[in-house]
DNA sequence: TTGAAAGCGCTAACAG
DNA sequence: CTGTTAGCGCTTTCAA
C-alpha cells in the first residue's frame, strides 16, 4: 500500500511519507542492506567510492535510521538515563545542562526523567530506563526514597549506575557528592567567627545523605567551638521554600528566634527571606543566614545570599566519567566514590555585624 | 553462555544477570510467547487464570519488557518528544513539569531535549526524535532558528507536531501561544496610565514571534495613547540577562535613560535590576519597569517585579491536547492555533509614582 | 570488498 | 482461549 507523496501538500500537513529504510536504499543502489548499513556507519569494510554514493543517496532519500531497530539489533543504545528529583531548581537544571553537554561530546543521547521528589515516580522511571535498555544511569534520589530495591535491580542487571548528590546508603556503589559536611562546617565556623552564638539549623531529612551530612557539619562546628546547642532551633523538615517559611514563622510566633540560621538548601533560605520580610525584620541585621547551594538569582536578592558553593560542572563531569569508565570496563570496574571539595561564597549575608555584642 | 548468578555478590556489583524475555517465561510455563505477551498487556483474549499465573511468574523472574523490541514491532512508541530552548528558566522548567505530569496521566513517556538556544542542536534533537520514532513532538524554537526545514520534515513524515510559545512562521501548523501582543499592550498601557511618557522597550529578536508580537503590543499602546517614541530606547537584542544589563548600561553611559522600560523577558529585567543596582539608582523611583513572564523568585526581589503572566499550565495542557488529538486522528486532523489570554500581575514595580511630574 | 543468513524481543494477523 | 507464522529495521557473524 503506497501513501501519496506530499508534493502538493502544505508543509505542515500530515502526509505520512513513509521513511526510507536501509533496504530501500539498497534496492535503489542494487547493493545489499548490509553494505548500506556499513557504509553509513563508516565501516572500514566499505570502499570510499561506495560510501560516497551511499551517503549521497541516503541524503537524497531523506533516510533517518530507526533507532529502535538499531538498538535492538546492536544491543547497545548509546544512551544514558538520568533520574533527577526536580528540575525547576538551579542546582539540578545546571547539573542536567552539564550532563547533556558532556554526553553529546561523547556521542551519547540522554534521557532525562524527573521524579518530582516522589519515590514511586522514581521507581517507575528507573524501570522505564531499564526497559529502554540505556547503557547507564545517573541518579539523584528523591527526598522520599527509603527503599533502594529498584537500584539493586539495576546493579544486578549489570547496568552501570552512578549516584549524584543525593546518594543511597548502599555498599559497592559509585557516587559523586560534594563535601556536604565540610562545606557545612565552614559555613557555621564562619558564623561563629563573626560572633554568633545563637545559631540554628533548618535541616533537611536526615534520611537523606545531604540532610545528614550537612547537619553533621553543623554540629561538628558547634561542638568544636563549644557553642551551646538549642534543640528548638535545630529543625528537620525537607528542602523546599515552604518549609523554610513555615519553620521561621513558627519560631517567630513562639518568640524564640535564633540570630543566625544555616539553611540546608537555597530554597529553604528563600522561605526564610520571605518570612523575614513579611514580619518586617531585616537581613542580616535582625537575622542573618547562609545556605548550602546556589541559585541563578543571587545578585538580585537584597541582600545577596551567601552560600556554600556546589560546583555543578565538576560534579557532572565526575559522574559522567565514573559512568563512562563503568560502561567501558563493565567486568572489571570497581565502584568508586568521588568527594568534590567546596567553599563558601560570601555575598551580603553572613558578614561582620554592625555592633558585635 | 551462562552468566553467574548474583547470589553472593554485593548489591551494587555488576553481575550481568541477563533479563528474562517473553520466551523465557513461555518456556517456564509451557505456553507460547504470544500468550505471555497478551497476558502481560491484559489482552481480553486471555483467561484471567492464565493472566494471574503469567503475571506472577513474570514478577518472580524479574521480567522487564524490552521497549525497543516492543516499539519496533508495534510501530508505536507511546512516547512524545519535547524540544525546548532552555531549561534553567522558570517558564520552561514549569512547562516541562506540566508536560510530564499530563503525559504520564495519559500513559505516555516523554523524551526531553534542550537546544540551549542553538539552532544546530535543535535540528539534531529533532532528527534524533524522529529516529526514535516518537509518536509526536512539542517544540519551542531556539532564538537562533531561521531555517524550519527539519520541522517540515517532521510534517512530511506524518509525525504530529505542536509548537509552544516560540513558534515558526509557517502555514498549516498547530501552535499554542500566549497573547503576547495583548499582554504587552496591557503592560505598556498601564505604564502610560501611571503617567509615564519616556518609555522604552528592551525587545527580543524580531525574527522570533515573541520578539515581534511583544514589540507590536508595545507600539500599539504607544500609538493608541499618542506617546512619542524614542528610537534609541527601542532595542532588539535577545532574551537573556546579559543583554538587559548591557543595554541599560549603554543607555546610562550615554546619559539617555528612559524612565520606564518594558522588558521582553524576565531575565532581561533581571539584567536591568543588576545594572540599576550597580549604578546606584533605585527601582521604581529612578527607573521603573515591567516584563513579560514570571520567575520563581519574584517575592524576593526588591521591589518585587511586576509582570505579564504566562499561564504555563494552561499552555502545556493546550499543547498536549492538540498533540493527542493529532495522534488520535492523524488522517483527519486539521492544524489549529490556540491563543492563551493573559493579564498583568502587579507587584512592586509599575506602580503609582510618588510625585507625578 | 561485498553479501547471505540469522536473529535481537516483541506484536499483529490469522487459524485452530 | 491459545498458538503459528511472519515480520518490524537493523547489525553481526561468516562465507564468498
How far, in Å, are A97, A317, B266 from residue A94 at the CA level? 5, 12, 19
> pLDDT digit string (tens) for B166-176?
999 999 999 99
Ranges of each domain in chain B? 3-65, 74-177+312-339, 180-310
Nearest to A88 among B14, B68, B94 (CB): B94
pLDDT at residue A152 is higher than 50: yes
For an interface test with B, which of A68, A109, A167, A333 has the most B Cβ atoms less than 10 Å from its Cβ? A68
Residues 33-62 of B with CB under 8 A from A: 62
Report, in angstroms and rounded to the nearest whole number, the Rg of chain A calculated over CA atoms: 27
Kindly indicate the confidence band of residue A17, based on its pLDDT and cuts at 50, 70 and 90. low
pLDDT value of position B298: 67
pLDDT at residue A6 is higher than 70: no
Q: Quick check: B177 and B165 in contact, CB under 8 A?
A: yes
Kindly indicate the confidence band of residue B4, based on its pLDDT and cuts at 50, 70 and 90. very low
- CA-to-CA distance for B324 and A346, rounded, in angstroms? 49
Asked whether strand C has any atom less than 7 Å from the CB of A45, the reply is yes
Distance of CA B123 to the CA centre of its chain: 16
CA–C1' gap, A314 and D15, in angstroms: 50
Nearest to B93 among A17, A77, A87 (CB): A87
CA–C1' gap, A22 and C6, in angstroms: 17
B193 shares contact with chain A (CB less than 8 Å)? no
pLDDT at residue B335 is higher than 50: yes
Q: Quick check: B287 and B251 in contact, CB under 8 A?
A: no
Q: Quick check: A235 and A201 in contact, CB under 8 A?
A: yes
How far, in Å, are A15, A195, B127, B173, B223 from residue A18 at the CA level? 9, 73, 15, 20, 51
A244 closest CA partner among B303, B313, B299: B299
> pLDDT digit string (tens) for A287-306?
999 999 988 766 778 889 99
Kindly indicate the confidence band of residue A355, based on its pLDDT and cuts at 50, 70 and 90. low
Cell numbers representing residue B135 in the block:
509518536
Which residue is it, cell 528540575?
A: A87
A307 shares contact with chain B (CB less than 8 Å)? no
pLDDT at residue A266 is higher than 90: yes
Mean pLDDT score, A110-136: 93
- Give the distance from residue A17's alpha carbon to the nearest chain B alpha carbon, in angstroms: 5
CA–C1' gap, A61 and C10, in angstroms: 28
Kindly indicate the confidence band of residue B17, based on its pLDDT and cuts at 50, 70 and 90. low
Contacts for A7 with CB less than 8 Å, ≥ 6 apart: none
pLDDT value of position B97: 87
Tally: H helices and E strands in chain B:
12, 12
pLDDT at residue A12 is higher than 70: no
pLDDT value of position A287: 96
pLDDT value of position A18: 79
B131 closest CA partner among A41, A63, A130, A111: A63
pLDDT value of position A125: 94
CA–C1' gap, A52 and D16, in angstroms: 24
Asked whether strand C has any atom less than 7 Å from the CB of A32, the reply is yes
What sign has the CA pseudo-torsion A288, A289, A294, A296? negative
Mean pLDDT score, B212-223: 98
pLDDT value of position B15: 54
pLDDT value of position B297: 66
Q: Quick check: A293 and A310 in contact, CB under 8 A?
A: yes
pLDDT at residue A158 is higher than 80: yes
Asked whether strand C has any atom less than 7 Å from the CB of B37, the reply is yes
Q: Which CATH number fits domain B74-177+312-339: 3.40.50.2300, 3.20.20.80, 3.30.450.20, 3.40.50.300?
A: 3.40.50.2300
Tally: H helices and E strands in chain A:
12, 12
Cell numbers representing residue B323 in the block:
498533540
Q: Determine the nucleotide nearest to B54 by Cα–C1' distance.
A: D2
Q: What is the DSSP letter of B265?
A: S
> pLDDT digit string (tens) for B94-115?
899 899 999 989 999 999 999 9
Choose from A197-211, A341-355, B15-29 the range with maximum mean pLDDT. A197-211
> pLDDT digit string (tens) for A30-67?
999 999 999 999 988 888 889 999 999 999 999 999 99
Contacts for B43 with CB less than 8 Å, ≥ 6 apart: none
pLDDT value of position B354: 59
pLDDT at residue B199 is higher than 90: yes
| Residue with smallest Cα–C1' gap to D8 | B73
Mean pLDDT score, B236-261: 95
pLDDT value of position A87: 83
A103 closest CA partner among A256, A255, A354, A327: A327
Q: Which residues in A159-189 are b (16+ Cβ under 10 Å) and which e?
A: bbbbbbbbbbebeebbbbbbbbbbbbbbbbb
Q: Determine the nucleotide nearest to A49 by Cα–C1' distance.
A: C1
Same fold, A74-177+312-339 and A180-310: yes
pLDDT value of position B227: 97
pLDDT value of position A301: 81
Average pLDDT of chain B is: 90
Q: Which long-range contacts (CB under 8 A, 24 or more apart) does A20-26 make?
A: A20/A58, A20/A61, A20/A62, A20/A63, A20/A64, A21/A63, A21/A66, A24/A61, A24/A63, A25/A54, A25/A57, A25/A58, A25/A61, A25/A63
Range B180-310: architecture per CATH: 3-Layer(aba) Sandwich (3.40)
Task: Name the residue of chain A whose CA is nearest to B6's CA.
Answer: A156
Residues of chain A with pLDDT > 90, as a percent, come to 78
Asked whether strand C has any atom less than 7 Å from the CB of A35, the reply is yes
Nearest to A87 among B64, B96, B158 (CB): B96
- Give the distance from residue B28's alpha carbon to the nearest chain A alpha carbon, in angstroms: 20
pLDDT value of position A298: 67
> pLDDT digit string (tens) for B26-52?
999 999 999 999 999 988 888 888 999
Q: What CATH number is given for A3-65 in this structure?
A: 1.10.260.40
Nearest to A69 among B72, B161, B270 (CB): B72
Q: Determine the nucleotide nearest to B50 by Cα–C1' distance.
A: D1
CB-contacted nucleotides of strand D (7 Å): 1-5, 7-13
Average pLDDT of chain A is: 90
pLDDT at residue A2 is higher than 70: no
Contacts for B346 with CB less than 8 Å, ≥ 6 apart: B190, B306
For an interface test with B, which of A1, A7, A11 has the most B Cβ atoms less than 10 Å from its Cβ? A11
Cβ distance B132 to A17 less than 8 Å, yes or no, reads no
Which residue is it, cell 500599539?
A: B220
> pLDDT digit string (tens) for A64-88?
999 999 999 998 899 999 999 988 7
3-class DSSP assignment, residue A237: coil
pLDDT value of position A312: 95
B283 shares contact with chain A (CB less than 8 Å)? no
Report H helices in chain A: 22-29, 33-40, 48-60, 67-74, 90-105, 119-131, 149-156, 180-193, 209-224, 241-253, 266-278, 312-328
pLDDT at residue B197 is higher than 90: yes
Nearest to B66 among A11, A127, A131 (CB): A131
Which residue is it, cell 535541616?
A: A203
pLDDT at residue A14 is higher than 70: no
A216 shares contact with chain B (CB less than 8 Å)? no
Cβ distance B131 to A156 less than 8 Å, yes or no, reads no
Which residues of chain B have a CB within 8 Å of the CB of A15? 155-156, 158
Amino acid at each position: 500500500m503506497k501513501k501519496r507523496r506530499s508534493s502538493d501538500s502544505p508543509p505542515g500537513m500530515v502526509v505520512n511519507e513513509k521513511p526510507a529504510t536501509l533496504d530501500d536504499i539498497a534496492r535503489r543502489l542494487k547493493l545489499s542492506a548490509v553494505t548500506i548499513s556499513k557504509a553509513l556507519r563508516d565501516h572500514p569494510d566499505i570502499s570510499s567510492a561506495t560510501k560516497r554514493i551511499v551517503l549521497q543517496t541516503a541524503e537524497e532519500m531523506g533516510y533517518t535510521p530507526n533507532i529502535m531497530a538499531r538498538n535492538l539489533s546492536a544491543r547497545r543504545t548509546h544512551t544514558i538515563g538520568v533520574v533527577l528529583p526536580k528540575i525547576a531548581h538551579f542546582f539540578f537544571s545546571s547539573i542536567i545542562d552539564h550532563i547533556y553537554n558532556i554526553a553529546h561530546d561523547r556521542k551519547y543521547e540522554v534521557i532525562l526523567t524527573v521524579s518530582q521528589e516522589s519515590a514511586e515516580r522514581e521507581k517507575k522511571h528507573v524501570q522505564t530506563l531499564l526497559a529502554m535498555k540505556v547503557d547507564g544511569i545517573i541518579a539523584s534520589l528523591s527526598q522520599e526514597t527509603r527503599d533502594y530495591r529498584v537500584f539493586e535491580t539495576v546493579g544486578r542487571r549489570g547496568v552501570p549506575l552512578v549516584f549524584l548528590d543525593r546518594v543511597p546508603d548502599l555498599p559497592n556503589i559509585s557516587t559523586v557528592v560534594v563535601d556536604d559536611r565540610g562545606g557545612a562546617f565552614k559555613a557555621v565556623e564562619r558564623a561563629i567567627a563573626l560572633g554568633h552564638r545563637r545559631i540554628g539549623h533548618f535541616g533537611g531529612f536526615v534520611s537523606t545523605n545531604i540532610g545528614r551530612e550537612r547537619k553533621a557539619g553543623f554540629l561538628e562546628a558547634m561542638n568544636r567551638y563549644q557553642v551551646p546547642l538549642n534543640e528548638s532551633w535545630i529543625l528537620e523538615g525537607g528542602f523546599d521554600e515552604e518549609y523554610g517559611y513555615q519553620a521561621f514563622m513558627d519560631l517567630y510566633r513562639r518568640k524564640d528566634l535564633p540570630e543566625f540560621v544555616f539553611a540546608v538548601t537555597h530554597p529553604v533560605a528563600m522561605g526564610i527571606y520571605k518570612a523575614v520580610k513579611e514580619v518586617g525584620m531585616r537581613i542580616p541585621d535582625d537575622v542573618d543566614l547562609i545556605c548550602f547551594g546556589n541559585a541563578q538569582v543571587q545578585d538580585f536578592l537584597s541582600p545577596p545570599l551567601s552560600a556554600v558553593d556546589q560546583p555543578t560542572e565538576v560534579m557532572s563531569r565526575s559522574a559522567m566519567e565514573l559512568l563512562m569508565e563503568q560502561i567501558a570496563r563493565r567486568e572489571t570496574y570497581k565502584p568508586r566514590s568521588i568527594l568534590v571539595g567546596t567553599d563558601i561564597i560570601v555575598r551580603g549575608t553572613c558578614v561582620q555585624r554592625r555592633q558585635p555584642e
